[in-house]
Amino acid sequence: MAGRQITVVGECVADAFVERDGARPGELALRVLPGGGPANTAVALARLGTPTRFVGRISADPFGALFRTRLTGSGVDLADTVAAAEPSTLALAALDGDGHAAYSFHAEGTADWQWTREELAAARHDGSVCLHTGSLALVRGPGGPRIENLLAEARPYATVSIDPNVRTLLVAPDAYRQRLDRWCELADLLRLSEDDLRVLLPGTAPEDACDRWHAAGARLVVVTLAERGALASLDGRRVRVAAPVTPVADTVGAGDSFTAGLLHSLALQGHLGGRLDSLTPEDLERACAFAARVAARTVAVPGADPPWADDL
């Protein structure tokens, strides 16, 4: 099992959904679910059966207790997670008629961004075949540059996976654009959504974006296309997979679940632990098809509630 362990570094976010029903006049009713892109990915990985470590900064507030319960209940190892003095990050989400969420964030001075080099030391050479990160923890200071340094130090020992998970309400698009080439230098696998692509490279076709990011250093680029499936590009060799037809409760956590399904399958096939040198287009197609199934099961239920292995 140790040969398949994946470490995820990043944030936990409390997703507070506006409840249209049940609020009395003059009240706002909220339903709070544990979220955050990296935490969602760790939960999905562990539920699929991949040995998973989560390295995060989790607050001692009630939201932090919610995060810990969800992660440990899904089988995630929290031995090297930091008990943080700062409050948790809060995202207020309102869903439209199609289940897409519009967010406002309460994130200044919160626990997730305050990484020190010493706190990240436990994730350097921990025996994992893959180190996955991204989202806000990678782009926000002061912790973001320290996570970048961690990735550079982990590369000799592990495959590096990055999901930018662009959030323009908190971070200006130019901040992502300025850092993306460096992330491609560090990453073996770059996974992002079509929405992320529109922000980062407006008007650029997914295939052209893949070629640009290959040139910057990423061997494998995967762009998820919602109900149109996904495009994966391995050194320029393209693979397309369809999305299973499924009813959509909401799209919260879909991309995180896709990433988890992809990493889980690549680990099972023995392709993680280096620079993806053994990966073939056929194996990549198998991994992406599995990832699409995991994402489809996630969008079929409310919130970021990815499936367990038995559900598939």
Q: Which two tokens stand for residue 21?
A: 């029903």
Whether 46 has a pLDDT exceeding 60, the answer reads yes
Residue 91, CA atoms < 13 Å, CB-side half-sphere:
23
Whether 6 has a pLDDT exceeding 80, the answer reads yes
Of 165, 184, 185, 161, the closest CA to residue 265 belongs to 161
List, edge to edge, every strand of the sheet that includes 29-35: 29-35, 13-19, 89-95, 101-106
Task: State the pLDDT at residue 1.
Answer: 41
**To the nearest whole number, what is the mean pLDDT of the chain?**
94
pTM of the full structure? 0.95
Report d(CA 276, CA 220) in Å as an integer. 8
Output the DSSP codes for 80-145. Answer: T-EEESSPPEEEEEEE-TTS-EEEEEE-TT-GGG---HHHHGGGSSSS-SEEEEEHHHHHSTTHHH
Residue 23: how many CB atoms within 10 A of its CB? Answer: 12
Task: State the pLDDT at residue 97.
Answer: 75
Whether 154 has a pLDDT exceeding 90, the answer reads yes
Whether 130 has a pLDDT exceeding 90, the answer reads yes
- Taking only the tens place, the pLDDT of each residue in 263-298 is 999 999 999 999 999 999 999 999 999 999 999 999
